[in-house]
Amino acid sequence: MSEIVERIGICIERGKVNKSSPYPGDMANQDGADELTKQALEANIGPDKILSACNDGMKRIGEKFSRNEVFVPELLMAAKAMNAVMAHLKPYFQAGTVKVKGKFVLGTVAGDLHDIGKNLVAMVVEGNGWEVIDLGVDVKTNKFIESIKEHPDCIVGLSALLTTTLGNMAKTVTEIKSQFPNTNVIVGGAPLSMDAAVKMGADGYASNPQGAVAFLNERLKSN
């Protein structure tokens, strides 16, 4: 991995947003995720490589959190640094595709505030020609139901990052499928698996945004 990409991953892990950010103290006056991402893209480093380094950084801070070496404020700074990277990457994922394929209603399920992965899914799906209706985080079942009523031909995507919110995800899937049996539902997020998705009654599971795109395009073909 090139040095600059490695440094971006470190900025995510340490929560170094940009040069003017005083946090963390030992990185004061150094370039942060914001400046380094800009430099990496100018040096023609691919957005996928940058994202992969960010995910590694997130994984490392998550492991530190599990070991009680860092706490929620550090996770929040990591998320802020990741958002600074994503702001630069967005145009690459959304580049010039006309949104004609269909509508994708997407949200993080009730009780869950994690949205970085969901936002990545939104960006990539949008970049692949779908209109994304992003309902945000902590989305209650009823909000999904109302959105399906508004966009009856949509496909629905649910994201969850907490094992404790998988129950809410399952309830939402059940309710959607009972009211709208023909609406396709795909689920994703770190604690999920194909097995869990099938048990919930979802039509599909993806471990990453590309998998979500593949599912959507497949459903388009079969309709």
Binding interface with ligand B1M (CB under 6 A): 55, 58-59, 61-62, 65-66, 72, 75-76, 78-79, 111-118, 120-121, 157-159, 161-164, 186-191, 206, 208-209, 212
Nearer to ligand B1M by C-beta: 36 or 158? 158
Nearer to ligand B1M by C-beta: 29 or 215? 215
Cβ neighbours around 35 below 10 Å, total: 20
CB 106 within 8 A of CB 133: yes
Greatest Cα pair distance, the chain, in angstroms, is 56
- Strands of the 185-188 sheet, one edge to the other: 131-134, 103-108, 155-159, 185-188, 204-206
Nearer to ligand B1M by C-beta: 9 or 35? 9
CB of 80 to ligand B1M, least distance (A): 9
CB of 87 to ligand B1M, least distance (A): 14
Residue 40 to residue 50: CA distance in whole angstroms? 8
CB of 117 to ligand B1M, least distance (A): 2
CB 222 within 8 A of CB 204: no
CB of 32 to ligand B1M, least distance (A): 17
Amino acid at 77: M
Residue 105 to residue 158: CA distance in whole angstroms? 9
Nearer to ligand B1M by C-beta: 7 or 118? 118
CB 78 within 8 A of CB 15: yes
Nearer to ligand B1M by C-beta: 29 or 67? 67
CB of 101 to ligand B1M, least distance (A): 16
Residue 110 to residue 129: CA distance in whole angstroms? 27
